[in-house]
Amino acid sequence: MKKIICLLMFAFLVASISASVNTEININSQFTSREKIEFSYTFLSDRTQEIRFMPWIKCPSAPLPLLQEETIVLKSNQPLTKTYSHMIVTEDIEPQTCVAYIKILEPTQQTFSKEFKIKTDPSFSLEPILENKIFLVGEKINLDYDADVRSVSTSATLIFPNEQKQKINLPYSFTAQQVGTYILEIIGSKKDYKTSSKKIQFSVLQNEVDFNQIQKGDLSQEEFNIEVQNMKQENEKKDFFSSIWSRMTGKVIDLF
């Protein structure tokens, strides 16, 4: 009985060895922007057989493609070469090390892999610096930025509630005169890095009463902006009626 089991195990081992497929992956060592990532692979078997396999590429910071199984018939000692295409490298892709894979599923499982690099400009963090998100008319507002790399060149635009745009150099300070929502746009650039941009909104209210009426923590940014706009319109109406009343009372006084 033991001899039969040993013979079966030996036969299975021989079959597995004979069923193995030599596989070679050929891929560039690196890819740069606008290049198409693809690799060729070659199968070679010492006997005619059908194989089922999957090719794919895995990158840490890129979406994993849909895996698809393929089935081909290899003829004895005749190499068969195929090509797998992945994606085109775009400017927004981060530099990283990826791996090209071929996994044979049948007749025996085997995995082959080869590393390559994506060489693109890295990105950097750019964050606006603002003391608060809500200010009062007449209050001084200080604007600045922070970056996680040195020697960043920046251009900044301040958009006022009346949609007037002003180019500014950061750091920058001004006294708020207009009620409403302001927008600060910052674009940062540095050699051998991707261009980074950020936008932040802040609001200026007429008085403390308006400030207390708006609970920013309970509102989304859109809801908050609507509330600020409503406050602005209410204040404009108050100013309008106050002006009319002043004129009317002034004329009445003149009559006497």
Domain boundaries defined on the chain: 18-119, 121-214
Residue 17 has pLDDT above 90, yes or no: no
Rounded-to-integer distance, Cα 63 and Cα 47, Å: 37
Q: Which CATH architecture is the domain 121-214 placed in?
A: Sandwich (2.60)
Q: Which two tokens stand for residue 180?
A: 């409403």
Dihedral angle over CA of 14, 16, 21, 22, nearest 10: -60
Please indicate whether the domains covering 18-119 and 121-214 agree at the CATH topology level.
yes
pLDDT at 128 over 60: yes
Write down the CATH superfamily of domain 18-119.
Immunoglobulins (2.60.40.10)
- Helix, strand, coil proportions of the chain in percent (round to 5)? 25, 45, 30
> 135 and 205 in contact (C-beta within 8 Å)?
yes
Identify which has the larger pLDDT, 30 or 14.
Answer: 30
Give the pLDDT score at 206.
83
Q: What's the rounded mean pLDDT across residues 213-238?
A: 54
CA distances from 149 to 124, 146, 170 (A): 7, 9, 16
What integer is the mean pLDDT of 4-23? 54
Q: Which of 147, 176, 131, 165 is nearest to 156 (CA)?
A: 165
Q: Could you tell me the pLDDT band of residue 14, with boundaries at 50, 70 and 90?
A: very low
Q: Which position has the token pair 């750019």?
A: 126
